[in-house]
Chains A and B, each alone.
Chain A
Amino acid sequence: MTQAAQDILQDQLETIRAKFISLLDDRLDELECLREQIDHEDQRQNALYHIQFIAHKIYGSAATLGLTDVGQSAAKTEETIVQYLIGIDPIPTLEDTKNIIDSFLDITADVSSSAYWQSVRA
């Protein structure tokens, strides 16, 4: 790839990154709602499936856009939920699973809000 093509790609990736962070904000609302549902036994399984699906999507694009921490946290969340739901050793407890999800929500919220303040400053 030529330097010019690389520069154009970097510019395009910046635009996509901004779109991703904006979408992350919407996803965060959904994730917080699903997180609450985990505490209700009858909604738990469905909520975990949905969180896993969203985490999977975030993992897929975050690292390519340079958001490594979010990507790694999403991957860890997906893996933990799969282990919990399917029962793969070492099977995490519900508390462990919730802690991993909470940590994922914190990192996602940090990225989302730091991007917000950056845009306000700009």
Chain B
Amino acid sequence: MRILSVDDDPIILDLLTQILASIGQTEVTIAESAAQAFEILKTDCIPYDCFLLDIQMPEIDGIQLCAAIRRMPQYRRTPILMITAMSEKAYIDKAFSAGATDYITKPFDVIELGARIRVAEKLVDAQRYKTSKIAEVHKQKARVSTEKPYFLEEKLHIDNVDGVIDYTALENYVSQLSRGSLFGSIVLAFHISDVERIFSGASAYDFECLITDVADAITQCLMRSQFLVSYAGNGTFVCVYGNDQKLLPDSLEGGLSEIISSMDLCYSDGRPILFKIVAGKPIRLTFRSGQKVVEALLKARSTAENSNVELIRTPSKPSLFATYLQGNTE
């Protein structure tokens, strides 16, 4: 795996290089600043598979660098692991919002660092496989075919919606934050009812537009709070947000219903996408930590997928977002 490691402390760069070498990762390039990292990315022809970025650096910090790397088309899904000696939730939230996949705390635990790099390597392998499958299906004119390079359960990556991160990143986020940091936060899931029917009748393009539009609607509802949203596959979205009394599930449902109705989502051939969205039961995080919080995510998903609460919408025209995407790909 080709790794670019960025830290303004030469000792940390030495440490990382040696620890990575001890676990078989020898293709490590180092940069002592964000500016040097940009230069390397500009001149290096072979893309990197993984980034390790220190958060606290002078001038351009690791969070800004992470966001900049994410804006590069070839690195939209490359694992970015943030390195931090800061445990404050605000920094971690900002890093994940900027597109980080995971974070590693300093001082390093050699075994834990090795484990996290191996997880990143698995992600890289999975993405390589997926990319080859997507290319294969694109060749078969995926825009009109209902054949897709993924299953309904796939936790699809969502681009260009602020506050939406990959599900693996959400799990990393909640499982590593200290108990106190998440205290009082709410986990709530939304599910597209009858998603199997939509999935089987939609092209990959239409389905991805739908998932992106619903994610966008959810973030609009949560805008007033500190939040992260993730697509968990199977038409289900999981949100983690601050304990804001005004963001009760009932009011969220109402808001979400209105926003989705105003989007008027359609298939590429103009047929309206008729669907209902159901909300699960909110789970308030008390002193859950680690695996318990990951279980809370699963429970939230399960309550949404088995919920009877329905928000019905009747669309009549294509969404601006879908039209925009369509225009860009044609």
Contacts and interface: CB of A to CB of B under 8 A. Distances in A.
B22 A9 contact: yes
B15 A9 contact: no
Given A56-B56, A59-B106, A23 B11 contact: yes
Interface in B18-57: 18-19, 21-23, 56
A9 B18 contact: yes
Contacts of A60: 9, 12, 85, 106-107
Please report whether the interface of chain A is mostly helix, strand, loop or mixed according to DSSP.
Answer: helix
Interface in B114-152: 114
A91 B21 CA distance: 43
Interface stretch (A12-20, A36-44, A100-108, A109-117): A12-20
Contacts of B244: none
B106 A64 contact: yes
Interface residues of A, number: 23
A56 B188 CA distance: 36
Contacts of A62: 107
Nearest to A82: B88
Contacts, number: 63
Interface of B: 8-12, 14-15, 18-19, 21-23, 56, 58, 85-86, 106-108, 110-111, 114
22 contacts: A1-B23, A9-B18, A9-B21, A9-B110, A12-B22, A19-B11, A19-B14, A53-B56, A53-B58, A56-B85, A56-B86, A57-B9, A57-B12, A59-B106, A60-B106, A60-B107, A61-B11, A61-B15, A63-B107, A64-B107, A65-B11, A71-B107
Interface of A: 1, 5-6, 8-9, 12-13, 16, 19-20, 23, 53, 56-57, 59-65, 71, 75
